[in-house]
Amino acid sequence: MTHEQITTHDPVASGLVASLRPLLAAEASAEAPGCGTEPGDLEQAVWLRLLERLGTQGPPDDPQGWLRRAVRTEVRRARRTARREGPSDREPADDGAHDPERLALAAARRRDLRDAVRRLPGRCPRLMEALLSPHDPTYREIAGELGISQGSLGPERSRCLGCLRRLLAPEVAAR
């Protein structure tokens, strides 16, 4: 359901949608990456909630507050769905995952990546090793281990990934 479909039926809804559209776009753009969904999907879900509300209870008293709460509710719903529908531990039988050639190539790629990580400057090797850890530590655990603030991990990670990208670019191009 899009905002155009809502506005074609009801003049009250039309005004409400027009006033909420920029706020919903901003909220959805801010929240969608954190829950693994697209902003448009999040917007559509909230428009649907608004339409349901208009049909049963009428317009909300505080439209902006209602919209923010509706976005957060949809984000929580998307996260719960993602957890329930998470990746399967079992792969299809015909995927070739046990193919010796594929296993050897994957191992070689992992070795190349680990070698490149070790060549990174500063504390990038330790940060990247922590991020690549099979134990999947949280940012809080990584920050504690490295002795840096949790808030600086994102920018540090971006800088390290940029260095890694530049380091690997000639090797990837040579292949």
Which tens digits make up the pLDDT trace of 48-107? 989 888 888 988 899 999 999 999 999 888 888 877 776 655 555 555 567 888 888 888
Q: Do both 110 and 145 map to the same domain?
A: yes
Contact 10, 39 (CB under 8 A): no
The answer to the question of residue 91 being in a domain is no
Q: Do both 7 and 44 map to the same domain?
A: yes
Cα-based distances in Å from 62 to 20, 71, 107: 11, 14, 56
Task: Quickly count: other Cβ atoms within 10 Å of residue 47's Cβ.
Answer: 21
The answer to the question of residue 18 being in a domain is yes
The answer to the question of residue 17 being in a domain is yes
Report the CATH number that the domain containing residue 128 is assigned in CATH: 1.10.10.10
The answer to the question of residue 71 being in a domain is yes
Overall domain count for the chain? 2
Q: Do both 114 and 145 map to the same domain?
A: yes
pLDDT tens-digit map of 95-117:
556 788 888 888 888 898 889 99
Angle between helical axes of 124-131 and 100-118 (0-180°, round to 10): 150
Q: Do both 122 and 51 map to the same domain?
A: no
Q: Do both 60 and 108 map to the same domain?
A: no
| Domain-ending residue, one of 52, 84, 116 | 84
Q: Do both 14 and 78 map to the same domain?
A: yes
Residue in the structure block whose two tokens are 């990670």: 157
> pLDDT class for 21, splitting at 50, 70, 90?
very high
Q: Do both 110 and 166 map to the same domain?
A: yes
Q: What is the pTM of this model?
A: 0.46
**Residue numbers of the domain that contains 32:** 3-84
Cα-based distances in Å from 64 to 15, 23, 70: 13, 8, 10
